[in-house]
Amino acid sequence: MEPLVLFILVVVVALGFDFTNGFHDTANAMATSIATGALKPKVAVTLSAILNLVGAFLSVEVALTVTNAVVKIQDSSGAPDPALLTDGGSGLLLIVLAGLAGGIVWNLLTWLLGLPSSSSHALFGGLIGATIAGLGFAGVNWAGDGSKLDGVLGKVILPGLMSPVVAGVVAAIGTWLVFRIIGRLLGPATERGFRIGQIGSASLVSLAHGTNDAQKTMGVITLALIAAGFWNDTESVPLWVKLACALAISLGTYLGGWRIIRTVGKGLVEISTPQGMAAEASSAAVILASSHLGFALSTTHVATGSILGSGVGRPGATVRWRVAARMLIAWCITLPAAALVGALMWGIGHLIGGMAGGIAVVLVLLAFAVFMFWRSRRSAVGAHNVNDKWDDTPARPQPANV
């Protein structure tokens, strides 16, 4: 009974995380197209949602070993660590549940502040915290065995430092070249062409996002299935898991994280269509090149780095470095903050114990979520005001002028 209830809670919370992952990352692909008016806000999020859905189904490869990047609760085939299954899987399920809850809390808080932080860092952070609390520091895969890029250092921290810089450099070069080539022709005669280019490149980013991010949740749910004894195949993911994850991320994307879209599209750089195209092309190229070369990185870091780069590359463009600095701080603390919440959640669950512990974790999570949603209503950002003029004085989204 206990593992079954915990398992159900893990599935629900995992899908909840996938949903926040969706709306948190809509901005990565679509913020520039919305800001330049290449796409109407609702059209942009719909397009992105469809491409995320398609992307999630395109990834048939098993992402079962997703947690192996940062923690040691599975072996290399994806099977759960037998030492954690002695109590019918409850020990492992509680770690995963607390980790997911930590990721969600951080995703919601950064959404409330309109900050584009990495959903993968939030998930990994939550799992790391819950694992440290449950198994101690030795349970964390800090740097792998050194033979390849692995562990918290190789798969999270180093790529996190490098990817926004690379994306920014590429976007700056691209933007500079585009403006050099177009010269004084910038304007009505070239606008339509760049709009098409911008929409095309943004669509590629959405598709790549769906293939990468939905897989992570599929892996986590399948791990929980195996731990609870409902599944024993480490080579495939059950169809219902794939379906549920694809729908969750796509629904989240459709909802649109308007607060974050606003920051990314309007807050960082006053962006024009050619800049938007250069930024999205840079994001798509960096994401595809690194996944091709087996290099893990966060779509969010790449996308925001690209947009900053497109501001640097256009002579005379304004980059709001204050907004960028806030964002940078959020990136640096995402992992430890989500870890702290994950550890606290594990503590709550462990203290109360068993089934009631798992339920308590979910109730605390729900309370947080409801509070943050209620708080967000005070200064609602939606499709109607996402493109309003950015006011620099208070560095957060402005109340709706309705």
Interacting residue ranges for another protein, rule: CB under 8 A: 55, 58-61, 143-144, 146, 148-149, 153-154, 158, 162, 166-167, 169-171, 173-175, 177-178, 181-182, 184-190, 193-194, 197, 200-201, 204, 207-208, 211, 274, 277-278, 281-286, 288-295
3-state secondary structure of 269: strand
Q: Which is nearer to another protein, 22 or 174 (CB)?
A: 174
Q: Which is nearer to another protein, 148 or 384 (CB)?
A: 148
Q: How far is the CB of 159 from another protein (least distance, A)?
A: 8
3-state secondary structure of 140: strand
393, exposed or middle or buried, with CB in 10 Å at 0-12, 13-18, 19+? exposed
CA dihedral 67, 71, 73, 77 (to 10 degrees): 50
CA 215-218-220 angle, to 5 degrees, is 110
Q: How far is the CB of 167 from another protein (least distance, A)?
A: 7
Q: How far is the CB of 337 from another protein (least distance, A)?
A: 24
Q: Rounded distance, CA 331 to CA 343, Å?
A: 19
Q: How far is the CB of 185 from another protein (least distance, A)?
A: 5
- Cβ(50)–Cβ(202) below 8 Å: no
Q: How far is the CB of 372 from another protein (least distance, A)?
A: 33
Q: Which is nearer to another protein, 197 or 349 (CB)?
A: 197
Q: Which is nearer to another protein, 103 or 197 (CB)?
A: 197
Q: How far is the CB of 338 from another protein (least distance, A)?
A: 23
Q: Which is nearer to another protein, 26 or 272 (CB)?
A: 272
- Cβ(346)–Cβ(133) below 8 Å: yes
Q: Which is nearer to another protein, 230 or 295 (CB)?
A: 295
Return the closest-CA partner of residue 219 out of 59, 107, 24, 90: 59
Residue 155 Cα distances to 162, 235, 295, angstroms: 11, 23, 8
Looking up tokens 């403006």, which residue turns up?
179
